[in-house]
C-alpha cells in the first residue's frame, strides 16, 4: 500500500464504479482493479462487493476512513514542505454557496491573487450542508458557510452576520392589498408572523439552503400553508423572478443590493424579520498538524475584504 493506492480507493468509493473512477484517475480499469485486489490480498479481507453500482463491505468502510486520513496527512505534509521551501504554488480548493459567492468571491479572489499569484483557486459552489460534508471528506481545503463550532476536527472562525429579508415586488403588494401595503408590512415586522401575507405567493430555495430553511420555519411558526410558485436552488433566478412580481422571496439582504439593478431595487420592498433571520457566516478548515499558509492567507483576505464591504454598506 502507498499514497496512490489510498487515492485510488477513495475515488472508487466515491464514484461506485471502476469505469468512472479509472477515468477520474487517468488510469486503466485493469490497473485500478489490480491495486484494489492487491490491497484486499494484503489485508486478507474483501473491501468491495463487485456489482453495479459497487458497494463497500464493512471492512471497506473502515479502510475508507484510514485512506482519507492518510490522504489528509499526505496533503498536509506536501503543504508544510512547500511552506518550508518558500514555494508559493499550489491548488487551493474553496467551497461556498452560490448565494454568497456572487458578492464575496470576485473581490476577495482578485485581492488574494494579487498577494499569492502562484496559487490556483478551485471554487466549488454547493449548498451549506454539502459544503460541510465535502470539507470533512477532505475534498475542500476551506469553506465559507454556516458551520457549527462543535464539529470535531474543524477549525471554525466567524466572518460576518448575514440577514435574510423577505423581498416582495411593490407591484405585487399593491395588487394583493390595494392601498394597505404599509399596514401589512408593519404588522409582519412588528409581530414577526407571516399571517398577514397568507394570500401572497412565495418563491422557495432548497431544503439544504439556510434561507430556504428559514422560510419553512417561518411558515410553520405562522401556521400558514403557503402557495409556492417556484422552487429552485438558484438564488439569483428566484430573486429575478421576485423582482418581476412572481412571488415573495426569502433572500440574503446583501444579495439584493449586489444582484438587482438600482432601478430594480426601487421596485421591491424589503421586509425585516428580526433577530431570528440573523445568522453567522463562518470560514472553516480541517484541523491538522500544519495549516497551509495559502489557506490562512485566504482566510485573512476574506476577512479584510468582507470587512471593507460591510464598511462601505
C-alpha span between 269 and 54 (Å, rounded): 52
Task: Assign 140 a pLDDT band (cuts: 50, 70, 90).
Answer: very high
**pLDDT tops 80 at residue 99:** no
Mean pLDDT of the chain: 91
Mean pLDDT value of segment 261-287: 93
Task: Assign 141 a pLDDT band (cuts: 50, 70, 90).
Answer: very high
Mean pLDDT value of segment 37-61: 93
pTM: 0.72
Mean pLDDT value of segment 132-156: 93
Mean pLDDT value of segment 265-270: 95
Mean pLDDT value of segment 280-303: 92
Angle 224-237-192 from CA coordinates, rounded to 5°: 30
pLDDT digits over 26-48, tens only? 999 999 999 999 999 999 999 99
Angle 110-115-119 from CA coordinates, rounded to 5°: 80
Q: Whole-angstrom distance between the N-terminal and C-terminal Cα of the chain?
A: 54
List all residues 6 or more positions away from 194 whose beta carbon is below 8 Å from its beta carbon: 188, 218, 219, 222, 224, 226
Task: Assign 189 a pLDDT band (cuts: 50, 70, 90).
Answer: very high
Mean pLDDT value of segment 11-28: 93
**pLDDT tops 90 at residue 18:** yes
Check residue 313 and give its pLDDT: 58
Check residue 312 and give its pLDDT: 65
- Is the pLDDT higher at 209 or at 108? 108
Residue 175 — left, alpha, or beta (φ > 0 → left; ψ -120 to 50 → alpha)? alpha
Alpha helices in 178-292 (DSSP H): 181-191, 210-222, 235-243, 253-259, 262-266
Amino acid at each position: 500500500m502507498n499514497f496512490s493506492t489510498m487515492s485510488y480507493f477513495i475515488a472508487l468509493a466515491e464514484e461506485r464504479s471502476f469505469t468512472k473512477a479509472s477515468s477520474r484517475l487517468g488510469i486503466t480499469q485493469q490497473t485500478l482493479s489490480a491495486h484494489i485486489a492487491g490491497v484486499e490480498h494484503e489485508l486478507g479481507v474483501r473491501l468491495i462487493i463487485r456489482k453495479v453500482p459497487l458497494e463497500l463491505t464493512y471492512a471497506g468502510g473502515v479502510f475508507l476512513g484510514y485512506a482519507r486520513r492518510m490522504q489528509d496527512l499526505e496533503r498536509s505534509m506536501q503543504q508544510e514542505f512547500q511552506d518550508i521551501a518558500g514555494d508559493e504554488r499550489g491548488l487551493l480548493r474553496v467551497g461556498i454557496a452560490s448565494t454568497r459567492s456572487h458578492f464575496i468571491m470576485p473581490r476577495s479572489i482578485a485581492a488574494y491573487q494579487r498577494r499569492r499569484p502562484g496559487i490556483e483557486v478551485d471554487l466549488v459552489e454547493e449548498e451549506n450542508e454539502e459544503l460541510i460534508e465535502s470539507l470533512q471528506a477532505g475534498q475542500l481545503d476551506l469553506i465559507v458557510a454556516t458551520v457549527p463550532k462543535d464539529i470535531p476536527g474543524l477549525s471554525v472562525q466567524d466572518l460576518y452576520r448575514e440577514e435574510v429579508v423577505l423581498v416582495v415586488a411593490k407591484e405585487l403588494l399593491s395588487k394583493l392589498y390595494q392601498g394597505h401595503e404599509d399596514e401589512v408590512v408593519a404588522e409582519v415586522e412588528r409581530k414577526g408572523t407571516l399571517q398577514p401575507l397568507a394570500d401572497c405567493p412565495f418563491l422557495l430555495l432548497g431544503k439544504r439552503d439556510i434561507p430556504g430553511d428559514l422560510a419553512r420555519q417561518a411558515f410553520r411558526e405562522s401556521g400558514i400553508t403557503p402557495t409556492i410558485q417556484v422552487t429552485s436552488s438558484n438564488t439569483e433566478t428566484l430573486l429575478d423572478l421576485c423582482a418581476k412580481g412572481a412571488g415573495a422571496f426569502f433572500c440574503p439582504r446583501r444579495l439584493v443590493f449586489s444582484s438587482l439593478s438600482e432601478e430594480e431595487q426601487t421596485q421591491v420592498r424589503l421586509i425585516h424579520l428580526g433577530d431570528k433571520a440573523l445568522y453567522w457566516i463562518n470560514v472553516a478548515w480541517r484541523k491538522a498538524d500544519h495549516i497551509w499558509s495559502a489557506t490562512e492567507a485566504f482566510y485573512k483576505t476574506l476577512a479584510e475584504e468582507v470587512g471593507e464591504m460591510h464598511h462601505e454598506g
